[in-house]
Homo-oligomer: A and B are copies of this chain.
């Protein structure tokens, strides 16, 4: 299969990346981050989460963030909604898309939310119905699609099953998430080859973590399966909660560098993104873990130095 000529990059840093930060990131920083990202050309930004602030205190200011950002025409601002209450918050905040989620691993589902995969997705029925009625896009996120911290191997059939359940709920887009970054390219291709049989290829996306350094190889593998949407997190924001100190989300700068090298259109300005990566890393006092970001920043800063 020919690789796509253009892809959509979904920037998840403001939500997935920041959500585990212990130190509260000021609302104005979150707003500036999102505004700069949309100005750099992102067509989809995961901007906030309408979950209980008891669970995720970092995301407690979701309504203020959504109220404060400048909406760029053509950019979809997504928010995570675990339940109907979260959905109501999302509607009030004028979210363009809500994100619902379920694990492909039974062990993960039981350990995390104390119910089966099937039950966990059943609970989203009212949310999905309400979203459909109000014309709000729905994205379903299939976590642990390439492996689970509890059960290890996750059968491809389990991923397909969750995708079918999300499709039945009316999801507009479904992401195959390697939540703990354990996947490798052959398995990635196998999973995408299977799920494209039950859901349209052009509405499936790849969400990869770089915990084991495999994210870009997996993205290259998914491109070869014709996948056209990828998630990434600016400066590699977001760790891996299952291995302290380990790398989390794949860095947006690295993904854009890959796409540019492959001649695949993204509509996003890499140079601007590198600056945004520097801005947010500096703002929250965390090291920038994007390799392309670090290299391009180092290059810009030492442009005058000679090196033989």
Interface residues of A (CB under 8 A from B): 111-112, 149, 181, 183-187, 210-214, 216-217, 219-221, 240-247, 251, 254, 257-258, 260-263, 290-292, 294-295, 298-299, 302, 307-308
Contact = CB atoms under 8 A, between A and B. Distances in A.
A184 B308 contact: no
Q: Which 9 A-B pairs have the closest CB atoms?
A: A184-B261, A213-B291, A213-B254, A243-B298, A246-B295, A216-B217, A212-B292, A217-B220, A217-B217
Contacts of A111: 308
Contacts of A294: 243, 245-247
Contact of A185 (B112, B187, B212, B262): B262
Given A186-B262, A212-B291, A240-B295, 14 more contacts: A184-B261, A185-B258, A211-B295, A213-B216, A213-B254, A213-B291, A214-B254, A214-B258, A217-B258, A242-B307, A243-B294, A243-B295, A243-B302, A246-B294
Contacts of A183: 261
B246 A291 contact: yes
B216 A214 contact: yes
Contacts of A308: 111-112
B244 A291 contact: no
A213 B257 contact: yes
A3 to B, nearest CB: 9
Contacts of A298: 243-246
A300 to B, nearest CB: 10
A298 to B, nearest CB: 4
A302 to B, nearest CB: 6
Contact of A241 (B186, B216, B307): B307
A246 B298 CA distance: 7
A220 B295 contact: no
A242 B300 CA distance: 11
Contact of A219 (B212, B217, B258, B291): B217
A268 B260 CA distance: 34
Contact of A243 (B240, B258, B299): B299
